[in-house]
Chains A and B, each alone.
Chain A
């Protein structure tokens, strides 16, 4: 897992890989008491629709004032302009000129108040749509989407996460009670996990024999001592097998060079192009993390650099989807864990701010050009249509035709898919 390195070094920020691996398999089921054999019998009537989701996660907390909700000419606005977009009357930051041309395909939610300013808790909140509860760990959006959108015929894992760097691998705990099958496969820097290919000295027949033995021993062990850990372990082999069979999908050099140019010849451009390939190949949910936006210092210089990298691939992705006829079936969500303070500190930085911030989404089920919610003149508070992470989670589901008020049934206990105290933001739906 490539966690985002946060500028403020809060205690919870840096989950070590070692600590994560130790807890990953065990933590997935334990809290709810679902037990290793618990089954997340999701509402069976949810369609396998062929729809898919891309989550672009701007790690560290992108500034809403330098992106979706600029406030030029105010005490908090900073130095940048607001520029017109393809939607008359809607302006975004001048740091997003290519995105501005896609605004007719995008909707902005400008009235978000999540009231959580710590990175990890805020990240968990925005990705699960719920606040932590002692008796249950909720699955993240990507796992929920994979669970509800995966088809029986797909050849790749349904949930993948492209990180800016770090290692690649299996065994994430983001699916919790949905089970390890829907946990994300991490693609550090867009690369598949290493060593999946059969070693040159091992014949195909010997490899099959070896795998058969592993499965036999595994099945025998599971009869008496099956656990969350063994399920996760087994699933990691299944995921690895599926990934290795489609190794070609990770090779973005197979794309038209002109298209690659449009995405941008840098890491994030490559990652977005890979995301499109994965979605096209049937992966139900891909998350791409772009980092870093935790700009307590030099917020403006760093947003020039980071959004300068983000803007072109993000816009190119929409054109690419439209060209391929995928836009109507692909929900694109661009979010962070929170926004940044309207106030500018003495280091030209902005700190964490969850009381009034924004996200963008587009594609499947979204009313292009919609702007929902409003902040006050200098962006310190929401003044119209305030929503929280629960509303957003319901909305993502609704956009792809799912119903967040239905239940999963981990351990035969009904658990609503999305926070029952929140509801879909219907105005943003097409």
Chain B
């Protein structure tokens, strides 16, 4: 288990480090397991890999539709992984000297899922990445992909209402989890390794013993859904979903209090769950904001961070279980996703303007 960082972050000192420019509106963003790269997905149907050490950008071309789900399987051992993250922190802190050749990237696998229902496996560190394996996984959109903590299983979910498990090694189907009955928007493995949660359009969060396929319990995030009778359509879903690194908390986010679904009139909402008790705790922006929280992360030391867009573009921060945000930061574009670096000292958002934005999260004091 990664134990970075050692000092609590100070949300009020968050600052923009740099934009990572692409040009096509972005949909998702994730750091690789070693923290060297930021991966983004865009409306141009590509993934982009930004090397945070060198600034190099590499396209992953192969999907025929949009991608939002990305999962990573490290191929190095844990000791090497920790060292790599340390190196990434150093490189980030000082910038990588032009005279110094960057270290060779450690190997890892990326699995991405698109809105045509396809999963693609890639060698994440490859100089010229090409699809390694393609699996027709879902009927309709793949909305999220996750890797089990041991790296052996990939989970995907989508608009066919299914959660599917796959062998990370060869893409073979392992198991299908049924029961949502509507679009499944997101999923995440518990860091302990035995459980998987999936969350749907209607805010039902299912907690699975994924090895047996048995449903353990359901958690209530229904505040993230509404049937808007005026527009005769459902609105909502868990747009972001994540566990704390120690597995003690789960967070999901989206939109609530919807008064006009088709204009996105509602308020961002993060719901956290104490994993043991399963009780929902709503977190809302302190200042009024109209829109959706698209991405959420839980810092290892307890800070909850969410990004979104609507009437403006913002990132919000919460400490512990306090309902009101302690700080909000305007960002340059609608934050369609948010990812926390494994070192815990920075995070990124995927901008609807075609740029990812990398932010520094300094420690207190």
Known contacts A79-B66, A346-B334; decide if A292 and B115 are in contact (CB<8 Å). Answer: no
The docked-state distance in angstroms from the alpha carbon of A344 to that of B334 is 13
Chain B residue at minimal CB-CB distance from A76: B43
Kindly supply a per-residue 1/0 record for chain B positions 223-248, scoring 1 wherever the CB is within 8 Å of any chain A CB and 0 otherwise. Answer: 00000001111110000000000000
CB contact list, A158-211 vs B, under 8 A: 164-165
User: Using Cβ atoms and an 8 Å threshold, which residues of chain A touch B40?
Assistant: none
Q: Is B25 an interface residue (CB 8 A)?
A: yes
B98-106, B188-196, B259-267, B299-307: which lies at the A interface? Answer: B259-267
> Counting CB contacts under 8 A, is B57 at the interface?
no
- Which residues, 8 to 41 on B, are CB-close (under 8 Å) to A? 24-25
B-side contacts of A261, CB under 8 Å: none
How many residues of B are in contact with the other chain, CB < 8 A?
35
Q: Which one of A218-226, A295-303, A311-319 contacts B?
A: A295-303
Contacts of A295 in B (CB 8 A): 262
Expressed in whole angstroms, the Cα–Cα distance for A72 and B24 within the complex equals 15
Contact B65 A297 (CB under 8 A): no
Is A296 a contact partner of B116 (Cβ separation < 8 A)?
no
Whether B64 sits at the interface, judged by CB under 8 Å, is yes
CA distance A75 to B45 in the complex (A): 10
Q: Which residues of B contact A291 (CB under 8 A)?
A: 231-232
Given the interface pairs A298-B235, A344-B43, A346-B352, the reply to whether A73 lies near B64 with Cβ below 8 Å is yes
* A95: min CB distance to chain B, Å: 10
A305 lies within 8 A of B310 (CB): no
Q: What is the CB-to-nearest-CB distance from A62 to chain B, in angstroms, rounded to a whole number?
A: 13
Given the complex of chains A and B, what is the CA–CA distance between A298 and B353 in angstroms?
17
Residue numbers in B under 8 Å from A78 (CB-CB) = 66
A1-32 with Cβ < 8 A to chain B: 5-9
B309 lies within 8 A of chain A by Cβ:
yes
Which residues of A have CB within 8 Å of B81? Answer: none
Rounded to whole angstroms, the CA-CA distance of A73 and B61 in the bound complex is: 13
Contact of B262 with A296 in the complex, beta carbons under 8 Å: yes
Which of B24, B141, B263, B353 sits near A9, CB closer than 8 Å?
Answer: B263
Judge whether A60 is part of the interface by a CB distance below 8 angstroms. Answer: yes
| Given A75-B43, A81-B65, A346-B333, residue A164 in contact with residue B260 (CB < 8 A) | no
B19 CB to closest chain A CB (Å) equals 16
Closest to B235 in A: A298
Contact of A7 among B45, B159, B262, B353 (CB under 8 A): B262
For B220, the chain A residues whose CB sits under 8 A away are none
State whether B260 touches A9 (Cβ < 8 A). yes
Number of A-B residue pairs having CB atoms within 8 Å of each other in the complex: 81
A360 at the interface (CB under 8 A from B): no
Q: Are B65 and A347 in contact (CB under 8 A)?
A: no
Known: A73-B64, A81-B116, A347-B334. A294 touches B233 (CB 8 A): no
Inter-chain CA distance A75–B46, complex, in Å, is 12
Residue A233 CB within 8 A of the other chain: no
Complexed CA–CA distance, A417 and B162 (Å): 54
B44 within 8 A of A: yes
- A interface, size bucket: 20 to 34
Which residues of A are found within 8 Å of B65, using beta-carbon distances? 79-81
Contacts of A346 in B (CB 8 A): 25, 309, 313, 333-334, 336, 352-353
Q: Is A304 at the interface (CB under 8 A from chain B)? A: yes
Tell me the bound Cα distance from A78 to B25 in angstroms.
11
Q: Mask for B57-101, Cβ within 8 A of A = 1, else 0?
A: 000000011100000000000000000000000000000000000
The smallest C-beta distance from B30 to any residue of chain A, in angstroms, reads 19
**Chain A interface secondary structure, helix, strand, loop or mixed?**
loop
Most buried by A among B65, B262, B309, B336: B262
The contact of B233 among A8, A306, A349, by CB within 8 Å, is A306
- Cβ proximity bits A69-101 to B, threshold 8 Å, 1 near / 0 not: 000110100111100000000000000000000
* Alpha-carbon distance between A302 and B66 when the two chains are bound, in angstroms: 16
Which of A72, A79, A165, A347 lies in contact with B264, CB distance below 8 A? Answer: A347
Question: Given A75-B44, A79-B66, A346-B333, A8 and B230 touching (CB < 8 A)?
Answer: no
A296→B24 CA distance, assembly (Å) = 19
- Scan A347-391; emit 1 where CB is below 8 A from any B CB, else 0: 101000000000000000000000000000000000000000000
The answer to whether B263 and A8 have CB atoms under 8 Å apart is yes
Q: Which residues of A contact B261 (CB under 8 A)?
A: 7, 297-298, 302
What residues on B are CB-neighbors of A344 within 8 Å? Answer: 25, 43
Decide: A7 and B309 in contact? CB cutoff 8 A: no
Interface readout for B102-117 with A: 1 if CB under 8 Å, 0 if not?
0000000000001110
B235 neighbours in A (Cβ, 8 Å): 298
Q: Determine the distance from Cα of A79 to Cα of B116 in the docked complex, in whole angstroms.
A: 8
* A73-B64, A297-B264, A344-B43 known; A79-B309 Cβ under 8 A: no
Closest to B260 in A: A7
Q: Give the chain B neighbours of A347 by CB distance below 8 A.
A: 264, 291-292, 309-310, 334
Instruction: Kindly provide the distance from the CB of A379 to the nearest chain B CB, expressed in whole angstroms.
Output: 15
State in angstroms the CA–CA spacing of A164 and B232 once bound together: 9
Q: List 4 A-B pairs, minimum CB-CB distance, nearest first.
A: A7-B262, A297-B264, A346-B352, A79-B115
Binding site for B on A (CB under 8 A): 5-9, 60, 72-73, 75, 78-81, 164-165, 291-292, 294-298, 302, 304-306, 344, 346-347, 349
Pairs A–B under 8 Å by Cβ, sample size 7: A5-B231, A7-B260, A79-B114, A80-B65, A294-B231, A296-B264, A302-B261
Extra 15 A-B pairs, beta carbons < 8 Å, given A79-B116, A346-B336: A5-B230, A5-B231, A7-B260, A79-B115, A291-B231, A291-B232, A292-B232, A297-B263, A298-B262, A298-B264, A305-B234, A344-B25, A346-B333, A347-B291, A347-B292
Q: Which residues of B contact A (CB under 8 A)?
A: 24-25, 43-45, 64-66, 114-116, 140-141, 159, 230-235, 260-264, 291-292, 309-310, 313, 333-334, 336, 352-353
